[in-house]
Every structure is written in structure tokens, then in C-alpha cells.
Structure 1
Amino acid sequence: MNQVHPLGTLDPRVIPPLTALLAFERAATQLSFRRAARDLSLSPSAISHQIRGLEQQFGTKLFVRGARSVRLTADGEHYLAKVSAALAMLHEASRDMLRQRRETGGELWISSLPFFTSTVLLPALPEFKRRHPRLTLRIEATHQYADFNGSRVDVAIRYGREHSAGLKVEPLVKVKSLPVCAPALVKGGLRTPEDLSQQVLLHVTTQPRTWSVWLKEAGLAHLTPRGHLWLDSVPAMLEAAEHGLGVALGMAPLIRARPGFGKKLVAPLAFEPTHSETIYLISRTEQARDRRISAVRRWIADAVARAS
């Protein structure tokens, strides 16, 4: 039996294109064709064209156009209220569909710091596959911002507390900077923080202030090292340290879980700074009851405990 819409059969010819409705809603909300164009990545003339099409379809003016501004007519204000409500319903319906796909799908996307990925997540992957053989993880190792709205990220692991609305932020572990190097540098005389003046300091381009913060806490803000070497990631920096190219700052206590620590890489200095950073696990609040997220959260917490 065919279902009939409560207001009668829908006539698709009456409903304007979605692009026109979006253009109208943005322009009416912003009271500016230029700002609407910016929001929708269109040209102002394209916005004007879409709205002109609506006005021709309905046979009425939606905007009063001035030399430098626009304002809504009475018909425009009435139509904006209806269009805004309809677009909000479409938006929520689409989010529900995406949420359902995420929660019933067999994949989960993790965006994680490169060092955390290599030191904590990868060694623990066999245990995850044993626990959850039907769930596939897709892990992206990156320092870039995790876009929960514009990407497929389900879980992110980052420094610092996110304040974005709609995100659940949970502390995983506090870390401190720990100088590490190849054993050969210790044999060459690296014993105290002052000895760093004879060494090359290894840096990560995305974390340019880590050494200056550490040296300031050690009372050596004006120390001049023998040189500097910049790398594009923490794993690359630690590999350079293992090859004896200089002294790197690892994240204690996680650095001690790195394969080869104690042999290829050692911590030569006794000084421990008071400054610490927190690594957080970030997910959507709307997925709080997602069993996949809960499973990954428990697995990551166990992996951190083992690495620490």
C-alpha cells in the first residue's frame, strides 16, 4: 500500500534546488551576499543568481537590495524561518545516518600523534586484533588538527585540551621531556645538562620550543649547543638520536617502551623537569555509547599502562 504524505503528494517541481536554498539561508542569515559566498565557497554573483531564481519561481522579492547592503522583505523573513527549520531537519537526519554508519560499520579511524602511534599503538595492535577480530582500525599518524566534522576521524590522540563543543576529552597520560641519545655520546662525556653545550640538539619542526623550555627549567636558558638538527617527526628525530647524530627529547615515561631503549637509546641526565604535558583521547560526545569507541578506549588505556 502506498503511503501518502499528510499534506498531499509532494511535487518535486515546487521544491527549489538545495543549492538555491543554501544560498538563500546563508545570505538571509548574514544579510550579505559576499559573506554567504565566502561561507559556501561560491562567488557573490553565483549567490545572487541562485536567489534571483528563487524570486522568479515564487514571483516575489525576498531581499531589498541597497548600494552596500541587503535586507529581507516580509516574504523573505517568513521563508527564512521555514527554510532554516527544514535545513536543520535535513542536517540532523544526515548526521543520524552518518552516526549509524559509524556505529554499525566494521572500521574505526584513529588520528594519533606519530610518536604515540609507533611506541604505544603499534606494539599493542596484536592484542587488539585478538580482542576484536571483526573490527578494522585505520590509524593516521599526524600532528595536524583532527577535523571531526570534515573527516572520518572517530578518535584522536593529541596534546592539550580541546575546547570544541561536542567533543569528549579524556586524559590518557602525563609526559615530560627526557633527553635521550646513543650510548656513544655518554661514553664521549655527556654526563650533566651543562655538557649539552658540546652536543647537537635534535628538534621536531612542529615542536620548536621543547628544548628551550627544558633548558630554561634546567637553569640553562642561555646555553649554546654545538649545533641544531631539525627533523619532520618525533620518530625521525629518535632514529637520528639512535644513530648518534645528537640529543633528542623523548616523552617520559612512554619513551622507555620504545624498542631498543636502554641499548640503542639511553637517558644520560638525572635532571627531571617539573613541566609536563597531558596527552588526551578525544572523541565525539554523541558517540559516548558507541561500543566500538568503548572497546578502543579500553585498549588504548591498557596499552598506555603497559608502555608506562
Structure 2
Amino acid sequence: MIRLPPLPALVAFEAAARSGSFLAAAEELHLTPSAISHRIHALEDWLGLPLFERHNRLVTLTAAGQDYLVEVRAALRRLETASTRLRRLEARPLRLSVAPAIGAKWLVGQLADYPQEDPRIDFVLSTSTSLAPLTAGEADVGLRYGDPPWPGLEAYELRRETVFPVCSPALADRLARPADLDGQRLLRHPLLAWSPWFAAADLARGEPAEGPLFEDSMMMLEAAAAGAGIALTVSLLAKPYLAAGTLVKPFDIEVADKGFYAVVSPAAQTLPWVRHFVRWLQARARATTSD
């Protein structure tokens, strides 16, 4: 029988040796410093000799520790390489159908981190503003803005949204109060109604019947940033524009609206890796909401 020390102790040893600090190793491994210390003490007891010299908050390797680190690091890397290779043998495509705006302004930035969650997933991305790719079986998961239910599809809420107007800084200088919207060009989107915002702003106006109508929210926001008019938008999509200063909120009034959803096709609803991805998306959206 092969006699090995506990793997968590070896991982703690390698992290502490690399950083020269039990505290830094604890932060890296999401443990407490006392847990790191306990694991290394257990490893030293198992080996029967000290691996570190303790100097208050810093530690240095003993001669035996230095020799041991070379072997442990090489062994851990071989384990990592072999495990990753086996996991990738089961690579699974996950087809995403995403509205262009949420895809470009939010999703692609999130997906960059997903290989750490599950390296077996290979994403196949396409853009669409309709649910047709999901109902036709051409996509597994879609990201859409709206109000479920959508017949035959499972919808999982990512985040509820508020809507508010945005415009270029130059145009905002001419808008001291909501009534100043009279005579201004309002940009329109099929899923974003102006009339509830008008009511919240005490403006006796109905839904605008004129003004450019955009199917793509990102194109509408780009037009607003270029000074083409005032757009009604949601927080998730406006955030990068507001941070960059290319769009501003001329008023503080916001109105509760619909939400973003992960919508899953019938064929994908039973697949565990799809359900795991949707739960991960929900967690990332909640983190975005709390930013």
C-alpha cells in the first residue's frame, strides 16, 4: 500500500513555501492562517522533521524543506496536468444564444472566468434577439430580457432591472428637468417603454410614436453616445458607458421594469453541466448587482 501524507497538507506546504507566509497561503487557499499552520504541523509530524523556520509572521524553509519543495511541486504539477487532461477528454459544447447588447457588455467578460469552474465546457456563441434558436433546438441556453413564462422553455432569473434615460454629456447640459425632454429626439426599443418613466417623472405624455426604433440595444446606446438622441436603458447595459463617461444620466428617476433571464431549451434542461452553468450565471449576476 502506498503511504502518502494528506494532499491538503502538501498543497498548504507548497503555497506557504512559495509565498513565505502562512497568512498569504491562507488568503490564496481561502483558509484561516491557523488552518494552514495546523496542516503544516501535521505534515511535519508525519515526516518527523521541521520544514519551516518560524520568524514572527514570515517563514523560511529549512534545508530539508527546500529539498522537499522541489519534489512536492513537481508532483502537484504532474497531478494537475493529468487531471486537466482527463477532464478535457469529456469536452462538452454549450451553445449560447445571446442578445447582442448583453453578450458584448456583460456575458463575454464573465465567460473568461468559466474555465476555472469547468474546463470541459466549450462555448459556441451566436446572437439573436428572438427565442427561435432555443425552440428550434439550435441553442442550449439563451440570455434574454423580458417577462416569462415562455412556453416550452425554462427561465431562470438573473437580475431584475430598472430603466432610466441616458444621453451624451453635451445633450445632458440642455436638460435641467424632465420637462426639457419636450422637443428632444427619443430613441426607442421594442422591450423598453417610455410611458412608465414619463408617469414617474410627472410628465403627461404617452408612448412616443416617433423617433428611431432600434432592435439592438447596443446600437441604440451607441447612437445615444454619439448625440443622436436620448435612450431609455437598463443598469446592466448602461454601466460600462456610464463608467467611461460617454453616456450620463440627466435625471435621477428610475423605474422598476422587467429582468434578464437565462432561458434553457427543452433538450438541455436535464443536462447537469447546463444546470451548473445557469447557477453560476445567476451567482455572477447577483455579484454584478451588488457592485
| TM-score over 0.5 for the pair | yes
Structure 1 pair 182/296, CA: closer, same or farther in 2 (3 Å)?
same
**How much has 1:289 moved relative to structure 2?**
4.8
Q: Distance in 2 between matches of 1:256 and 1:239?
A: 10
On the 8 A contact 1:201/1:246 being kept in 2, the answer is: yes
Matched, 1:155 2:141: yes
Q: Which amino acid aligns with 2:283?
A: D
- In the alignment, which residue of structure 2 is the partner of 1:277? 258
Asked if 1:294 corresponds to 2:281, the answer is: no
Matched, 1:196 2:181: yes
| Consecutive unaligned residues in structure 1, runs of 5 or more | 1-103
Measured at CA, do residues 242 and 186 of structure 1 come closer, stay the same or move farther in structure 2, by a change above 3 Å? same
Q: Which residue of 1 aligns with 2:232?
A: 249
Count of aligned pairs between the two proteins? 198
Query: Residue 157 of structure 1 aligns to a residue in which SS?
Result: strand
Moved more, 145-154 or 169-178: 145-154
Deviations 1:119-170 (A, max 9, x none): 22012121123433332112222211245442321112221112424x3322
Counterparts of 2:284 and 2:243 in 1: how far apart (Å)? 17
Distance 1:138 1:221 in 2: 46
Matches within 5 A, 1:20-39: none
1:266 aligns with 2:248: yes
Cα RMSD after superposing both structures: 2.7
Q: CA deviation at 1:117?
A: 1.4
Separation in 1 of the partners of 2:128 and 2:265? 19
Partner Cα separation in structure 2 for residue 306 and residue 183 of structure 1? 29
State whether structure 2 residue 151 is matched by structure 1 residue 170.
Answer: no
How far is 1:303 from its partner? 3.0
Q: Which amino acid aligns with 2:147?
A: G
The residue identity in structure 2 corresponding to 1:280 is Y
Post-superposition Cα deviations, 1:161-198, rounded to whole Å, max 9, x if no partner, equal 12424x332221111211111111122x2132111114
**Identity in percent:** 25
The answer to whether the Cα contact below 8 Å between 1:200 and 1:228 also exists between their aligned partners in 2 is yes
Hey, what's the Cα distance between the residues in 2 that align with 1:296 and 1:191?
45
Unaligned residue ranges in structure 2 (runs of 5+)? 1-89
Residue-by-residue CA offset, 1:50-107 (whole Å, 9 max, x unaligned): xxxxxxxxxxxxxxxxxxxxxxxxxxxxxxxxxxxxxxxxxxxxxxxxxxxxxx7621
1:20-63 per-position Cα deviation (integer Å, ceiling 9, x unaligned)? xxxxxxxxxxxxxxxxxxxxxxxxxxxxxxxxxxxxxxxxxxxx
Tell me the amino acid that sits aligned with residue 281 of structure 2.
Answer: I
Q: Is the alpha carbon distance of 1:126 and 1:251 closer, same or farther for their aligned partners in structure 2, counting shifts above 3 Å?
A: same
Matched, 1:186 2:172: yes
Contact 2:97 2:127 in 1 (8 A): yes
In structure 2, the CA distance between the partners of 1:291 and 1:260, relative to structure 1 (3 Å rule), is: same
Aligned residue number for residue 211 of structure 1: 194
